[in-house]
Amino acid sequence: MSVSRRSTTSSTFPSNGAATKRCGRYFFQILRAGCSTPASAPAGIARFIRRRLSAGGRLYRMDVTALAFQAGSFDAAVATFLFCVLPESLQVPALRELGRVVRPGGLIRLLEYVRPRGTARRILSRLWDPWIAWAYGASFDRQTERHVPAAGLEIVESRYVVDDLVKLLTLRAH
């Protein structure tokens, strides 16, 4: 699992390596959690990571269930396709840890693959299951949304963003 502090709108980083996003005159600290490193990431992602690192960013390799950041260190967190590769037993601890490092009231956004509801896509996803598990260690059957209350987080929004295959969860830290 990799964690980077990076800017989503600019290629500059403060000297302490904390990611910032500028919104008007305000700057926000954002945690971007994922599970790829330049060595294991697809070529495009690896190039993106190398560009960000060469701009002064930092990449941290940590366990998402035990992040080495102080509580409330970030204004927000984003995790893309991280929870679909985490086993069910790590879902609540990982969600809880993201909630810990985000300031109270801060948002956590998760983009995840889910088992499609439509018959044709559901059947197709069942056929993909062995390959997805082998290639990525992922599953369409992770119940991340169901684990949110147990992690002490609040669901602000839950919506499909790619048909009924990819879901965006917006959570609020307490």
| 81-90 per-position pLDDT tens digit | 899 989 999 9
Please state, for a pLDDT cut of 70, what percent of the chain lies above it. 69
125 versus 152: which is more confidently predicted?
152
pTM for the whole structure:
0.73
104 versus 49: which is more confidently predicted?
104
CB atoms within 10 A of CB 105: 11
CB-based contact 166:114 (threshold 8 Å): yes
Q: Between β-strands 26-34 and 74-80, what pairing exists: parallel, antiparallel or unpaired? A: parallel
Looking at residue 111, its amino acid is L
Tokens of 152: 């002490």
Distance, CA of 169 to CA of 174 (rounded, Å): 16
CB-based contact 52:6 (threshold 8 Å): yes
The residue written with tokens 């147990």 in the block is 150
Would you call 93 helix, strand, or coil by DSSP? helix
* Best CA proximity match to 3, nearest among 20, 22, 18, 23: 18
Residues 18-40, mean pLDDT to the nearest whole number: 52
pLDDT band of residue 38 (cuts 50, 70, 90) is very low
Residues 151-174, mean pLDDT to the nearest whole number: 94
Paired residues of 16 in beta bridges? none
Domains of the chain are 2-172 (3.40.50.150)
Distance, CA of 2 to CA of 32 (rounded, Å): 9
